[in-house]
Structure 1
């Protein structure tokens, strides 16, 4: 490693979507920017499930979807309640899902992140991969650089974009150690299949894709769920389970994954596929309730490091929030540079901009939902209830035929009518 400048305007720790976006925006405005990435290349350590909502990046790099290495545009949404022997699915297909500015895409981070980092480099940012930042330089209570690879480098401001388990933010006292109820463990496999096979099995055209979320037995009744995203010539298949809820689970997470793969509804979809990648990582789960202190003297925290993630059951969002926070951070630094003041007071412009953006507005809107999802009935009783109702509706045995309302109420009463009413009420309020 070598020193590229006596003092940078900004040093960014982490070259994920948050770090590279911030670097791109700052470099484009002429700032001297250094991005340091622990992995051997940007994206080598990013194991997200793989869905990008394009609205945030489209505003920064218009028409990026025409140039970026995206996989498939999501034109089919599926949400399933799954038991050990059944599947009840809501399926929505529409060309409206692919409209410009609102489209979402499946992505492989090992391809997408290098491309985004390249945009930052072309704008003028310098990227150094394969280096771990060991510590931050602090003088008189002001962050003024980093220590990495045995060298010290100074900067006016440091952006922490080093992921959900940001040890650097912990060292500064900006966040406490993560609690098990604040994060989930995600496991994911990339399963390679021929492009034509994927399109035939999921009824897709060449550029279309499916996003499929699962609730129920996939997480062995624990707080969590499964996902499946179609890529060009592979599937991203995985499970996410809250860490605190795994402690007393009789089924370990790797076994949950194996059970998911052999489920009779999933096995035909991945048949003859080859596992090309198996990974695990932490996922922020507590929404607004886990957002730490994100502004200090000479330092900002963005993306997963700031806990910016939303899981509302039918949608899981992280990358668009990371990009949105990066944009706000870049604007705050430009504001501070104009004032020649990188104190916490000046950089608090970041919080003001976040509050005005979709990032904080959405986090605040769904702030109650993580608590609602702690209800195990959602993962045990209700998937079975849905399956039992479907069984009653579609089973014709020549016996007495009950009115539809009685068939449904019969199953609802078995699950607990009052519990269902209370949970529906809480769920509506949480959303």
Structure 2
């Protein structure tokens, strides 16, 4: 292996790495994929959301054999205080379409399936292999990788780094900076197993229909973060995550936060009688557009989480990962046709192509949201959820108080809780960050 040369080396076998490796191998390139886990998906036990459009652009027939759990027909968004929740939900029969738009998946199963399709396309996979460094020529161009295996020098024309949010290879090589605690979230998840019929009864589902619940509010103890519940066929993925900097500052234990979330009056009945079989914690890059590092250079590109491609506002990650992996691969394929030496100038085409996609357009649109949330966390995740809950309870409680007086009380509670100037200022800041 050390004497063999490849057209491309892909470091990592998650969604972005698999998308890149599959696309290049399908085009006839000689591709080596390196994965430090025992097998692709071995480090992932959690449930997740799969966005069909992104995968369909890579593997059009993925629905034929991919391990899909439920297709999502209903989205719920909850704003919680300590004892209640207010929110909105959208449910549509139109989502029971021939080719559904979103699915819940179990990452361990999905990653193994995706990796099988990559190998069938012609790529070579080497697991339990850690890339320790990048190899460079005398001019500094990346020409391969060094691994922890004997004789571990492997050469290639270009290296695709898809090694996740930590991207230790990129950090060691000086291609990207270390993670900032205020730009990355730590999420903890559990898999709660229930009979299929119980899940369908509790969430008003039939067949393979699914529900996704996204939660914000006092459940994060004034920290910037969200909770979630995803329905799988015979399990529920339940989790919560907050910024690492907030955990460090408050001293809150992530697992304690998850326990409190599970015992919230709005969540506990949904989990009643379930058996917890899996627990996982992982980092999510949530710094957005302003934290994207340089994503290409002489002989290398960054894709997926390693380049901070996550839209935290809409809770989208896997679609950005697969899209960036695919576009990086397509760029490499085109450059190879022109006998490129994969210089930084040539690989700039990758960034140019990405700028025309929803990935960069969405991240750029929300570039100021992370700073807004950090600067207003106690209000967004504490004050406002309580005020909205109090207002809803006051309005719906029939107690002999006339409705005009109730309106006066609600307005008064908001003015007292946040102040007119504070509310106007928050609305202005949010509108400016959202535009």
Q: TM-score scaled to structure 2, two decimals?
A: 0.94
CA deviation after TM superposition for structure 1 residue 247, in Å: 2.0
Q: TM-score scaled to structure 1, two decimals?
A: 0.95
Contact 1:47 1:281 in 2 (8 A): no
Corresponding residue to 1:419 among 415, 422, 427: 422
- Alpha-carbon displacement from aligned partner over 1:359-415 (angstroms, at most 9, x marks no partner): 111111111111122112100001101110111111112244435643431232122
Corresponding residue to 1:9 among 7, 10, 22: 7
Equivalent residue number for residue 51 of structure 2: 53
Distance 1:277 1:56, change over 3 A: same
Contact 1:55 1:102 in 2 (8 A): no
Unaligned runs of 5+ in 1: none
Once the two structures are superposed, the pairs formed by residues 150-161 of structure 1 within 5 Å of their partners are 150=150, 151-161=152-162
Contact 2:71 2:100 in 1 (8 A): no
**How well do the aligned residues superpose, as a CA RMSD in angstroms?**
1.7
Equivalent residue number for residue 362 of structure 1: 362
Q: Are 2:432 and 1:429 aligned?
A: yes
Unaligned runs of 5+ in 2: none
Contact 2:35 2:130 in 1 (8 A): yes
CA deviation after TM superposition for structure 1 residue 418, in Å: 2.2
Equivalent residue number for residue 240 of structure 1: 241
Distance in 2, Cα, partners of 1:137 & 1:250 = 41
Equivalent residue number for residue 289 of structure 2: 288
Q: Are 2:332 and 1:339 aligned?
A: no
CA deviation after TM superposition for structure 1 residue 89, in Å: 2.1
Contact 1:78 1:213 in 2 (8 A): yes
- Alpha-carbon displacement from aligned partner over 1:181-223 (angstroms, at most 9, x marks no partner): 1101010001111111100011111111111111112211211
- How many residues of Structure 1 are paired with residues of Structure 2 in the alignment? 427
- Alpha-carbon displacement from aligned partner over 1:122-148 (angstroms, at most 9, x marks no partner): 110111112111111111201111111
Distance in 1, Cα, partners of 2:403 & 2:219 = 33
Distance in 2, Cα, partners of 1:178 & 1:47 = 23
Equivalent residue number for residue 325 of structure 1: 324
Distance 1:302 1:181, change over 3 A: same
- Alpha-carbon displacement from aligned partner over 1:201-257 (angstroms, at most 9, x marks no partner): 111111111111111122112111101100111001001100111123253211111
Distance 1:430 1:131, change over 3 A: same
Distance in 2, Cα, partners of 1:300 & 1:100 = 36
- Alpha-carbon displacement from aligned partner over 1:79-108 (angstroms, at most 9, x marks no partner): 111111111121111134455677111111
Contact 2:2 2:155 in 1 (8 A): no
Aligned to 1:238, the other structure's residue is in SS state: strand
Contact 1:16 1:46 in 2 (8 A): no
Structure 1 segments, 4+ long, off by >6 Å, are none
Aligned to 1:241, the other structure's residue is in SS state: strand
Corresponding residue to 1:395 among 379, 394, 397: 397
Q: Are 2:268 and 1:267 aligned?
A: yes
Distance in 1, Cα, partners of 2:274 & 2:238 = 12
Distance in 2, Cα, partners of 1:165 & 1:56 = 23
- Alpha-carbon displacement from aligned partner over 1:246-288 (angstroms, at most 9, x marks no partner): 1232532111111111111111111111111101111101111
